[in-house]
Amino acid sequence: MSSQRTGADGGMVGSLRAVDGRAVVRMEDSFDTDIEDLWSAITDPQRLARWIGKVEGDLRLGGEFRASFTSSYEGPGRVDVCEPPRHLSVTMDPGRDDETVIEAELSPDGDATRLVVEERGLPIGAAAAFGAGWQAHIEDLAAHLAGREQGDWRTRWAELKPAYLDQQHALE
């Protein structure tokens, strides 16, 4: 199992845009696995730990949790939408000025599964860092699904950030 795009040519799978003065990071990729397996990879704490980080707490609809990602983010979250195996939405840092919403949508894509992840509500000046970070996470997800070792997250983030800076400058 692998991604059909991520890492294939080292290129970008994400885009940045601005909505109401805040940045939105969007990642789109298709994975050579079924929708149930991909849903499990993005919702099961044991599998999340293999590609993005530690998530503990109440992961049911309305539940609160704490996340520690490989990107060094640590903070609280809340499950706002959970419609297995197609739609998940969580609010990170709920009730704070830096609150963001992460939404994942899954859909069949031939014999594969398409994943779209968006994080909304980000500062425009940090959009490139988040874009590079999310792509590095999605590449780690692809490695997890394929049974491969993930790469060094920080190294990949540094490689990706210049391309996302070009998109960020267009937002400023």
- Both tokens assigned to 91: 């609010």
Indicate the domain borders of the chain. 14-171
Q: Please compute the mean of the pLDDT values over residues 137-166 and round it to a whole number.
A: 95
Q: Please compute the mean of the pLDDT values over residues 154-163 and round it to a whole number.
A: 95
Q: Note whether 65 and 58 are within 8 A (CB).
A: yes
Domain 14-171 falls under CATH 3.40.50.80: no
In angstroms, rounded to a whole number, what is the distance separating the alpha carbons of residues 132 and 155? 11
For 61-74, how does the pLDDT look when each residue is reduced to its tens digit (9 = 90+)?
999 999 999 999 99
Core vs surface per residue 50-78: b (16+ CB within 10 A) or e: ebbbebeeebeeeeebebebbbeeeeebb
CA distance between the termini of the chain: 38
pTM of the model: 0.92
